[in-house]
Amino acid sequence: MLKGTTIVIFIVNLVWAQSSLSVTTRTGVFTGGLNDTYPDVRHFKYIPYAKPPVGSRRWASPEPLDSSSEAIDSTVFGPSCPQYVSAVPTVWALNITGNLIVNFGESLLAGEVAQNSAEDCLSVAIWTPANATSDSKLPVVLFFTGGGDVTGGVNIPTQLPANWVHRSQSHIVVTTNYRVNIFSYPSARGLNGSTNFGLQDQRLAVEWVAENIASFGGDPKKITLWGQSAGASATDMYLFSFNEDPIIRASISSSGTSFLGPTNVDFGGTNFTFVAKSLGCDFADARLELECMRRIPVARLENFVGQYQDNSTLVNTSQPAISFVRQVDNKFVFSNYTERYLNGLVAKVPTILGTTAREGSALVPYPVDNPIAGPSNESIINETLEFVCGAYNTSVLRNQIGLSTYRYEWAGNFSNISPVSWLGAYHYSDLYEIFGTYLIAPGDISDLEVQTSEKMQGYFLDFITDPSSLPTNGWPEYQVNNQKTGGTLAQFGADGKVVQFVDGNSVEGPCHIPGDLYNTSP
């Protein structure tokens, strides 16, 4: 009887979920679907949050959408923002599963524009429990993908949160496309210093979610902003740009802070002008240069910039490099974050800061001539400490002005997600556990990995649901009292243990204790 009743309840719930797949918002009526693997999860894979940044809106601040009742199919992902598939061999392309945007058969070393990218790309995707309604008022986490401000987007297999939402049935996850590379950080002469468009895209995504997420079952007063790598530093920078009106109530930065990330104070437009001249837009007049470049097709722009950068790495290492990175404008990117902290010019929200034990193993140059040996341990440690010390310095400053901070180190080394021996707990690998996408990685899955993933998901959910709940649930705030005793870190997956809480100095001692050595495999 009980078994039959369960089946009936499941069928009723499924029929109800099917009827709730169309959601009305101010900007359109979106019809989603149920996840193939987890039918108790509802997804909306394509929801525009801004007007297309094309034509005269290329290299301009994003514009909010007009009100609309248009019916939009949201069962298929929209394109990622324009980006290039590098021909330079990396562990991301050759050794690690599912960490790049889906390009439908295009080689991971194509040396061409990503075929699943387009300029009309400013969209979010939303995952909710299938039975969520406008009365559910579920907490929301809004995720900014990484990619070094060069690549990235929503449609990355290991960043799809269906497993996590399936397990919790009590929160909503939103992920975001935003502009990168030359389309985000052009530093063009004709823009008179206007730049950092990707960071502006992110703010508009937050605003759209706050305005419309209630229709999907979310609570606009319970939004947590989370980012990884470039998305993590952008999340931290967001707290300064919008300190007076953050909209969000908490933040998480996994492998990145405002102290980390390439920035450029030069608004001279040298790189942009070099590209413009190379593509036939050779004008002394900055306005004409910009107008001409706005007419260059996306693929031509991406292929020129990407192939030039590839050539600088693979063929002609003496060739002057070009890059398009965040620029200090003291509006979205500031010149002195320490000063802004000490002056209290930061959003007063609780924060989780995370790092991985071997951040650098997947980031330093890939040893193509000796892939089994891997990069030197010294180079891995030096790169890793950039992240670790950035998190430490941020935590100390937050302590000084009384902001709640929680810290974690991901130290698990599981062969299915780290198939090369020297990778270890590399930059990005914690995402497999939090999203629950370690399940799609080839190879054996240990009980320890399953338990560690579930524990990380649980703690993140606790924080998203109630940012003040972590100490009650066993994860204490990070507080530095003196040089000898560091703040407490949650250390996941280290030494055969799901989680342990350790003295921060055992991880970040080299950041402030002379002669202390860093351990990449705790």
For residue 192, the tally of other CB atoms under 10 A from its CB is 10
Burial letters for 208-243: b for 16+ Cβ neighbours within 10 Å, e otherwise? bbbbbbbbbbbbeebbbbbbbbbbbbbbbbbbbbbe
Instruction: Count Cα neighbours of 149 within 13 Å in the Cβ-side half-sphere.
Output: 27
> Residue 109 corresponds to which tokens in the numbers above?
């070393």
> Residue 356 corresponds to which tokens in the numbers above?
């991985």
Indicate which residue of 229, 251, 395, 418 is catalytic: 229
- As beta bridge partners, residue 33 has 43
State the angle between helix axes of 286-293 and 270-278 in degrees (0 to 180), rounded to the nearest 10.
Answer: 60
> Residue 480 corresponds to which tokens in the numbers above?
């530095």
Indicate which residue of 112, 119, 289, 359 is catalytic: 359
Query: What distance in Å separates the CA atoms of residue 220 and residue 138, rounded to the nearest whole number?
Result: 9
Query: What distance in Å separates the CA atoms of residue 140 and residue 313, rounded to the nearest whole number?
Result: 41
Q: Are 74 and 44 in contact (CB under 8 A)?
A: yes
String of DSSP letters for 95-164 = T-SS-S---TT--TT--EE-TTB-SS--EEEEEEETT--TT--EEEEEEE--STTTS--S--GGG--HHH
> Residue 301 corresponds to which tokens in the numbers above?
């722009």
Query: What distance in Å separates the CA atoms of residue 351 and residue 17, rounded to the nearest whole number?
Result: 34
- As beta bridge partners, residue 125 has 175
427 included as an active-site residue: yes
Question: CA gyration radius for the chain?
Answer: 23
Q: Are 39 and 81 in contact (CB under 8 A)?
A: no
Query: What distance in Å separates the CA atoms of residue 357 and residue 506, rounded to the nearest whole number?
Result: 11
359 included as an active-site residue: yes
Quick one: three-class SS letters along 335-389?
A: CCHHHHHHCCCCCCCCEEEEEECEHHHHCCCCCCCCCCCCCCHHHHHHHHHHHHH
Query: What distance in Å separates the CA atoms of residue 251 and residue 263, rounded to the nearest whole number?
Result: 22
255 included as an active-site residue: no
Closest CA to 504 of 488, 516, 518, 490: 488
Indicate which residue of 427, 429, 433, 453 is catalytic: 427
Residue that the structure tokens 């020297």 belong to: 422
Query: What distance in Å separates the CA atoms of residue 483 and residue 359, rounded to the nearest whole number?
Result: 24
Write out the catalytic residue numbers: 229, 359, 427
